[in-house]
Amino acid sequence: MRGDCSGGAGPRLLGWEIAGTVLALGLEGSAPPPWVELFPDFAVSPGRARGAHVLLAARSVSGWFNRGQGDTAPPTWSSSLAGDTLLLEGPDLAASLHREGDRLRGELVASGEGGWIVAFALRSILHHALRGRGLLLHASGVVRRGQLLLFLGRSGAGKTTIARELAGGGRPFSLDRVALLREELGPVAHPTPFSDFQGRAGRHEPTRPRALLFLEQGPRHQLEPLSAGGVAARLVQHSLASGPELGDISAPLEVASWIAERIPGFRLTFRRDEGFWTILDSELGGQER
C-alpha cells in the first residue's frame, strides 16, 4: 500500500510499520515532499499512523540548510541524549524527540531535495525505539530450504552480496538491516527496508532465524561455533552499527544475551562464492530449528 498523506483535519500523516513499530511524520505544508516515496511496501494508513509509536511533526526546506563552517562540507551525522530527549543532526536534517511513556514524540526538519536523509534518520530512531525489546542489526538475511539464516559483518564483509548474488537458490529476506526482537515464542527476525529506500525488495513475514552467521573473508570456507557469550558480544557490536548507543548499553546487552541463549551463532569464513552453502547445508540443514 502506498503512503497516504491525506487525513482530514490536522496534519497530513505519512507512516510505516517496521519491526512491529509504527513510525509516522505529520507533514506541514501543501506540497508533499519526496519522502512519500519511501518504503511503499511498509506504508500504513493515516488511521494507523495516528497511533504511532514514534510521531514527528515534519517539514521540508529548500536547499542545504545545515552546512558546516565555511559552507564547504556538511557536518557529520551525530546523535546525543539529554535526559529523555534524543537529538539527531546531519547533512540536511535535524530532529529532536522525547519519550512520553512507551512512545517517542518530536520534530523533524529536513531538506526537501531527497528522501535518503529522512530514511537514515528513521533508521536511527527505530534503533532507539526498540531499546529493551530487540536489536536493529547490521545484517542481511536469506530464506533457503524453509530456514532463515542471518549474515552479520562489517561494511564490505559480504552481507548484501550473499543476499543478492550468492543466495544459493534462496530468496533475500532483508539486505542490510534486520530487526531481531524478543517475543513470547523466542527471537523473531523482522525485515527492514533501510538498504532499499524504494522498497523494491518487498516485505516478508517475521521469521525465527535458524542461525546467526558472523562473516569473515578468507582463503577457504569454514564454519566455527561460537559461545553464547561470544554471540552476545558480537550482536551488540553489530547493533551499534545501526545507531550508536547513547549512555548505558546494559539494555541491548541483556537482549543480546537472551537471543544468544536461543539462537546458535557461528563464525563463517568464506571466499565470496556459493561453495559455503555446502558446509551450511551439512552442519545446519538437518538440525531442528
Q: Are residues 270 and 144 in the same domain?
A: yes
The number of residues making up the chain comes to 289
Q: 78-106, pLDDT tens digit by residue?
A: 777 776 788 888 778 889 999 888 899 99
Q: Are residues 180 and 245 in the same domain?
A: yes
Burial class, 199, CB count within 10 angstroms (exposed 0-12 / middle 13-18 / buried 19+): middle
Chosen domain end from 85, 112, 129: 129
Q: Are residues 140 and 263 in the same domain?
A: yes
Domain count, the chain: 2
Whether the CB-CB separation of 156 and 140 falls below 8 Å is answered with: no
Average pLDDT score over residue span 118-144: 91
Chosen domain end from 67, 99, 129: 129
Domain assignment of residue 54, yes or no: yes
Share of the chain above pLDDT 70, in %: 81
Q: 248-262, pLDDT tens digit by residue?
A: 688 899 999 999 999
Q: How far apart are CA 163 and CA 173, in angstroms?
A: 8
- Domain enclosing residue 183, as ranges: 134-284
Q: Are residues 277 and 251 in the same domain?
A: yes
Q: How far apart are CA 286 and CA 21, in angstroms?
A: 34
Q: What is the DSSP string of 180-198?
A: EEEETTEEEEEE--TT-TT
Q: Please tell me the predicted confidence (pLDDT) of residue 38.
A: 85
Q: Please tell me the predicted confidence (pLDDT) of residue 242.
A: 65
Domain assignment of residue 273, yes or no: yes
Q: Are residues 193 and 232 in the same domain?
A: yes
Any idea what the CATH number is for the domain that residue 217 is in? 3.90.228.20
Q: How far apart are CA 11 and CA 57, in angstroms?
A: 8
